[in-house]
Structure formats: C-alpha cells, structure tokens
Amino acid sequence: MLKRVVELSLRFRGVVVALACVLVGYGIFVATHAKLDVFPEFVQPQVTVQAEAPGLAPEQVEQLVTRPIESALNGVGNLESIRSESIQGLSVTTAVFKEGTDIYVARQMLAEQLASA
C-alpha cells in the first residue's frame, strides 16, 4: 500500500508539489487570520460601571445610584451575575457575562440599557 503511494507520488511530482504549495498557502492564510493572544483570557468577560455621586454617604449612593444601575443591567442578555460596591461618593457595579460572550457586544448592550434607563 505504502509502496503504491510512493510510486504515484513520484510519477505525479507536479501534482504533489502543487498540493503542497496549496497547503502551505492555506496554512499561511489561516495563521495570519487566527485570533491569537500572548496571554489568553482566564476570566469571564466583564464590564465595570463607575458612577460618581459627590457628597453622598454610602447608603445614599446605594439607594440612589447603585440600585437603579443594577435594575437597568438586569435586562442585558448573557448576563451571569452582577456585583456592586457603594462607597463614599462612588458606585462601582461589575456585570459578569457568560463564557464566550463577545465583550464588545456586551459592552454595547450594557451602554444601551443604561442610556434607556
């Protein structure tokens, strides 16, 4: 069987060389268009929303700023969890999305939800 493959390869050298060139060309094309990163992402996609509320106590920030942001974010698709923190004059809300969610699409959806709220 292997002897037959070698004989055919030697007889049709031009075809073998052409196929090899096509495979190398395809490999170069795929390598240049591959999404590679030196440091792959090990965390789920997440978007952080920070809102300033100067002069407000943490309880007021939570009630007046953080809770409305959280309720607006609950309508976003592929959302896995929401974490928030309210401190003196600042609200930090982090939306964690399901694995495989495109971070740019998630950010756009989040911005649209916040704008409509």
The predicted model gives 2-25 an average pLDDT of 92
**Percent of the residues in the chain that have a pLDDT greater than 70, as a whole number:** 96
Mean pLDDT comparison of 20-24, 39-43, 94-98, 100-104, highest-scoring range:
20-24
The predicted model gives 22-26 an average pLDDT of 96
Task: Select 46-116's CATH number: 2.60.40.10, 3.30.70.1430, 1.10.2020.10, 3.40.50.300.
Answer: 3.30.70.1430
113 CA to centre of own chain: 19
**How much is the pLDDT for 41?**
66
pLDDT tens-digit series, residues 31-72? 888 877 777 667 888 999 999 999 999 999 999 999 999 998
CA torsion sign for 58, 59, 62, 63 is negative
Residue 92 above 80 pLDDT? Answer: yes
**How much is the pLDDT for 96?**
92
| Domain spans in the chain, listed from the N-terminal domain onward | 2-33, 46-116
**How much is the pLDDT for 65?**
92
The predicted model gives 89-116 an average pLDDT of 89
The upper half-sphere exposure of residue 87, i.e. CA atoms within 13 Å in the direction of its Cβ, equals: 5
58 CA to centre of own chain: 32
